A and B are shown apart, each in its own frame.
Chain A
Amino acid sequence: MRNLVIEPTSKTPKVILNADLGIFEITGRSIPEDAIGFYRKVLDWIEEYGKSPLPETTFKFQLEYFNTSSSKCLLDIFRKLERMHKSGHKVSIRWHYDSDDEDMAETGQDYQALLDVPFELVPV
């Protein structure tokens, strides 16, 4: 499976989905007007990867800002990871946030509460 790399813009994050290593990252800002349009490619890729994932998958999120239309897309990504986890694959989500950004910490906790998948909050 081909790796997916999307370079960041002022409104969209850097995305690295490495199928060889099982290492995924979304970092930067996610404030596009059309979040569904941006994340469609990412979601399709993860869906495909989820059909035969590596024994271990780590997904790092480190977002400085994200808008509410991205928040639903992030949940969609988490749900796909949750499904992988439930079908017996090792999956871990690491939510990195600026240690004095309480809003981002709280958002991470909100997601954590909604999901049944290892979800770690990592202050940086």
Chain B
Amino acid sequence: MSMTYSYYKNMQLNNIIFVYQGEVTADLVSSILQMVENKLEGEGEDRKVKKRVFNVMVECLQNVYHHLDALPPTDPSNPVRDKTALLMIGREEKDYYIITGNHVMNDRIPEVKARLDRINRASKEELKQLYQEILTGTGFSEKGTAGLGMIDIARKSGQRLGYDFHPVNDKYSFFSLEARVSRIPEK
């Protein structure tokens, strides 16, 4: 029990308003969205900011949800056979941040990294073009988004996406993604 206070202090210091570690299901995603939405509502956050945070949160959480679904569940070197991930939302003075963490297969890293780097290099106008290209293209997977989610997160965030791949074993790494939403409404 002695750890409780340090968990509390740590969360407080890092401005964490919500953290979850465990299995990610569609119902869980719904509950988190509802809870955070109520919290933003209750604290009288600016409507535009609230909408952006909600939008970015939807994409980040569903991105993890779809991704976990694609991992081979019976692979013995998969560190998480139960679709667990880390979901975290925080509020700093200037920004909200949404962080997700989940395992990815190492062979997918170059593709994900290239996509994120491309998004981070793109201007606002280029992101819009990229979005439209994917939206109207035919390469839409049954799974859903084929990269649209990340672009949408970047467009709504207006800031660079932070990311990291932490090696876990020879087949898996832990991928974390951070998206920020400014608390200062435009104009």
List residues of A whose CB falls within 8 A of some B CB. Answer: 10-11, 31, 33-36, 65, 67-69, 71-72, 75, 100-103, 110, 113-114
Other than A31-B33, A36-B144, A75-B136, give 13 A-B pairs with Cβ distance below 8 A: A10-B33, A33-B29, A33-B62, A33-B65, A36-B142, A65-B54, A67-B59, A67-B62, A68-B145, A69-B62, A72-B140, A100-B47, A100-B48
B45: shortest Cβ distance to chain A, in Å? 14
A79: shortest Cβ distance to chain B, in Å? 10
B38: shortest Cβ distance to chain A, in Å? 12
Contact (Cβ within 8 A) B148 A101: no
A77: shortest Cβ distance to chain B, in Å? 13
Q: Quick check: is B70 within 8 A (CB to CB) of the other chain?
A: no
Q: Which residues of B contact A10 (CB under 8 A)?
A: 30, 33-34
Q: Mark B94-133, 1 if CB is under 8 A from A, else 0.
A: 0000000000000000000000000000000000100110
List residues of B whose CB falls within 8 A of some A CB. Answer: 26, 29-30, 33-34, 47-48, 51-52, 54-55, 58-59, 62, 65-66, 128, 131-132, 135-136, 140, 142, 144-145, 148-149, 151-152, 156, 186
7 A-B pairs with C-beta separation under 8 A: A10-B30, A33-B144, A35-B144, A68-B145, A75-B136, A102-B48, A114-B135
Partner of B66 from the list A33, A71, A72, A100 (CB cut-off 8 Å) is A33
Contact (Cβ within 8 A) A68 B149: yes
Known: A10-B34, A33-B66, A68-B152. A75 touches B135 (CB 8 A): yes
Q: Which residues of B contact A71 (CB under 8 A)?
A: 135, 148, 152
Contact (Cβ within 8 A) A33 B34: no
Partner of A69 from the list B48, B51, B144 (CB cut-off 8 Å) is B144
Q: Which residues of B contact A72 (CB under 8 A)?
A: 135, 140, 148
Q: Which residues of B contact A75 (CB under 8 A)?
A: 135-136
* CA–CA, A33 and B55, complex, Å: 14
